[in-house]
Structure 1
Amino acid sequence: MIPIFESWRQPVKLLFMAVAVAVVLVSLVFSNRLVKQLAKEERSKIEIWAAAMELLPKSGESSDMKLVLQILQSNKTIPVILHDKTAGSFSANNLKIPEGDASGYLLKKTVEFEKKHAPIVLEELNQYLYYDDSYILKRLQLYPYVQLSAIVVFIVLAFTSLVSSQRAQQNKIWAGLSKETAHQLGTPLSALTAWTEYLKLRSFDPVLIAEIDKDVDRLRVIVDRFSKIGSVPETGTAVWQEVVRRSVAYLEKRISGKVELRFKFPESPVVVQLNEPLFSWVVENLTKNAVDAMGGEGVITYTMGERGNYCYLDIDDTGKGIAKSRFNRIFQPGFTTKERGWGLGLSLAKRIVKEYHNGKIFVKQSEIGKGTTFRILLRRRW
């Protein structure tokens, strides 16, 4: 069966991711082209600057000298180093030279500059001109990464907001549906209670009335559970072994006789903080799923223990198992492998354990054809 919420939520996620990737790619391509264009312009400027250096000794007229000096003085952003091979000297422009060994520092810089750009050779003067990217170009080279970081942050925030919005909407649906269900069940439940009292007065079969009372009490528990969804339920300390046994007791008489229930509980009480009506719902859902997975025949084992600050409850079945790719998806609302299932049982179980008991529920292990183990973790009550 196709998940109810997944059928429309997945396309939205894919579209959102596609748009985000497209924005990032367009931004990176544009920035990269801009950087390359600016780098070419700087290369042209340096070549003109080098040509001016070669013309400087030849400029006899004052007008030519003025133009050459104007060109040389125009470079205020591109770091350059001029190495005179004949004299073995270095001169630099737009570089902060530390005090001390200036020649050694400039020699190291020429090596760095040469790795980025091929030097310009002034053959007539036997000089080599090394240059680095301007400060503007360096900032522009960093800009795509800053922009990418900003886009990633925006995508994360937008995606988180979208997920939160969807989750809030689902929570409203959960709460509204649960409250309405509890309200609708209240009227026939009151009528059933009155009818059982009437049957007692008419001296009907006590055994039959006792069974009806059990089902009426069961309906009261269900109404109580639904009424607690969407609000903060009250919790109290309880012995976990007793809660689990009471939760299973109702189902034990209503499932196939070919299903064996085994309990591996410690002798000492495992005390936890929980709301029994809601937590019993979790145990019942997992037990029903286990029975369905085994086809009404097999063994369900309830194992309990303590580990550090947590207590754990493992519910293990000998059913058909779950593929690893579905370990997380099975807890999503609407996801089900049953032809007539709604896919709400495990989602509800996770909500009860996580939000109402600050615990965890997950698939501990599963093997196709051999069975599945669900684990529930609750904080230990000292």
Structure 2
Amino acid sequence: MNFLFESRQPVRYAFIAVATVIALVSLVFSNTLVKGLAKEERNKVEIWAAATELLAKSDESSDMNLVLQILQSNKTIPVILYDKTSNTLSANNIKLPEKDTQGFLLKKTGEFAVKHDPIELEELNQSVYFDDSFILKRLQIYPYVQLLVISIFIALAFFALMSSQKAQQNKVWAGLSKETAHQLGTPISSLIAWTEYLKLKGLDPALINEMGKDVYRLEVIAERFSKIGSVSDIKPVILQDAVKQSVAYLENRISDKVRLIFDFPESSAMVQLNESLFSWVIENLTKNAVDAMGGEGIITYSMGEKGRHCFLDISDTGKGVSTSKFNRIFQPGFTTKERGWGLGLSLAKRIVENYHEGKIFVKQSEIGKGTTFRILLRKG
């Protein structure tokens, strides 16, 4: 059933949607504010240009106090006045270099003209070029800085939420596993006693032997569950032997139409393993392969080395998996089967990555041709 995986999707999508809306509203509001301020600054420059024109046309008897106040009030907006008649440039609120002042201002007029259309003083044959004030420039950058901060905050909140969910899942995993191991303990002990009793009754030894194997199997399963959530006992193990021992129990319990091929190198590959937990991984992948093939096909186990790691590839000739599901298949609750909880691959991923500091992933898959899982483990 996929309900465990799918039930979390609406929460994630809602979180992302709300965060996106907040970011967009903030960005639109900031841009609107910047455009309004830019319009205000152009109005101020137009008033400044009109005052400049009025001052040039005034005579000695005119009272120019108001005009001078207007001209002196501009202390933030960079302005360049270009006199076309004398071909000279003068500036206000611009830090000028000691040499080649005119060349510097000429370059600036080009930069200013790209940002804003110049204001023409036709009667004086002059043009006024202006740039955004320092405050406006900072406000223009502010929306993007704000968007970055919001994005970082959203990312941190999202990861915190995911970490909290993961920690909660880990507690549930460990609690259920230990409780399962505890519950299995009593019937297993009883079965062991019954097996010994049946031996004394002189029943068929072959039958008693097979029962003993299944009881031992239950003991192994209980031991595995008890180790979930505990510190893993890792030690150097020959990978070839670990894989063959893990498959041995299933080999006589799967369809005769399934052929197992071990493509192993002659030299032994030593890796750091907890054999009990790792055998769980191999069994889960093998069972999934058998199900994917419908109980008929070939499962190949191949090995090799890659840097400081050994890799184990488990390939089947089953129905395959679409590329879009490569990551989702390791999610708890995700399954393509009509029946089942979809916990096998999730458990395998936890054992490989959390307990063995390795990696497990879908190496390749093709619909109708099969799938290959790869496991990377540290060399011993």
The bucket for the TM-score relative to the shorter chain is: over 0.9
Counterpart CA distance in 2 for 1:146 and 1:316 is: 49
- 1:83 alignment partner, SS class: strand
Provide the C-alpha distance between the structure 1 equivalents of 2:56 and 2:115, rounded to a whole number of angstroms. Answer: 29
CA distance in 1, matches of 2:294, 2:61: 103
In structure 2, what is the equivalent of residue 361 of structure 1? 360
Distance 2:227 2:160 in 1: 27
* CA–CA distance in structure 2, aligned partners of residues 159 and 33 of structure 1: 29
CA positional deviation for 1:205: 2.4
2-structure distance, mates of 1:75, 1:229: 72
- Aligned-partner Cα distance in 2 for 1:302–1:20: 46
Identity %: 72
Displacement of 1:38 after TM fit? 0.7
Aligned to 1:216: 215
Deviations 1:237-282 (A, max 9, x none): 0000000000000000111111111111111100000000000000
Please name the residue that 2:76 is paired with.
77
Does residue 185 (structure 1) correspond to residue 184 (structure 2)? The answer is yes
Per the alignment, residue 262 of structure 1 pairs with 261
Distance 2:348 2:275 in 1: 13
Q: Which residue of 2 aligns with 1:68?
A: 67
- Written as runs of structure 1 = structure 2, the 5 A alignment for 1:192-231 is 192-231=191-230
Deviation at 1:313, TM superposition (A): 0.8
TM-score normalised by structure 1 residue count: 0.97
What does residue 27 of structure 1 align with? 26
How far apart, CA to CA, are the structure 2 residues paired with 1:57 and 1:309?
82
* SS state at 1:350 partner: helix
What does residue 153 of structure 2 align with?
154
1-structure distance, mates of 2:63, 2:269: 97
Q: Is 1:276 matched with 2:280?
A: no
Contact 1:317 1:373 in 2 (8 A): yes
> What pairs up with 1:1-382 in 2 under 5 angstroms?
1=1, 3-60=2-59, 64-381=63-380
* Structure 2 counterpart of 1:366, one-letter code: S
- Aligned 8 A contact 1:236 1:275 in 2: yes
CA distance in 2, matches of 1:123, 1:336: 77
| More divergent stretch after superposition (32-41 vs 63-72) | 63-72
Query: Residue 339 of structure 1: CA displacement?
Result: 1.1
SS state at 2:3 partner: coil
Alpha-carbon distance in 2 for matches of 1:47, 1:165: 58
User: For 2:64, what is the secondary structure of its paired residue?
Assistant: helix
Question: How many Å apart are 1:156 and its aligned residue?
Answer: 0.7
Q: State how far apart, in whole Å, the 2-side matches of 1:4 and 1:222 are.
A: 26
Cα deviation, residue 348, structure 1: 0.4
Q: 2:65 is matched by which residue type in structure 1? A: K
For residue 8 of structure 2, give the secondary structure of its aligned residue in structure 1.
helix
Q: Distance in 2 between matches of 1:204 and 1:327?
A: 50
Q: Please give the per-residue CA displacement for 1:23-49, whole angstroms capped at 9, x wherever unaligned.
A: 111111111111111111111111110
Deviation at 1:375, TM superposition (A): 0.9
Shift of 1:62: 7.0
SS of match in other structure, 2:272: strand
Cα deviations by residue, 1:188-240 (Å, 9 ceiling, x for unpaired): 11111122222223333222221121111111100010001111211110000
Tell me the CA shift for residue 371 of structure 1.
1.1
How far apart, in 2, do the equivalents of 1:308 and 1:131 lie? Answer: 61
CA contact (8 A) 1:4 1:333 kept: no
Letter of the 2:69 partner, please give it.
Q
Q: How many residues align?
A: 380
CA RMSD of aligned residues (A): 1.2
Structure 2 counterpart of 1:331, one-letter code:
F
Letter in 2 for 1:330: I
Q: Distance in 1 between matches of 2:45 and 2:89?
A: 17
Deviations 1:67-125 (A, max 9, x none): 11100000000000111122222111100111111010000001111111111111222
Change (3 A) 1:62 1:277: farther
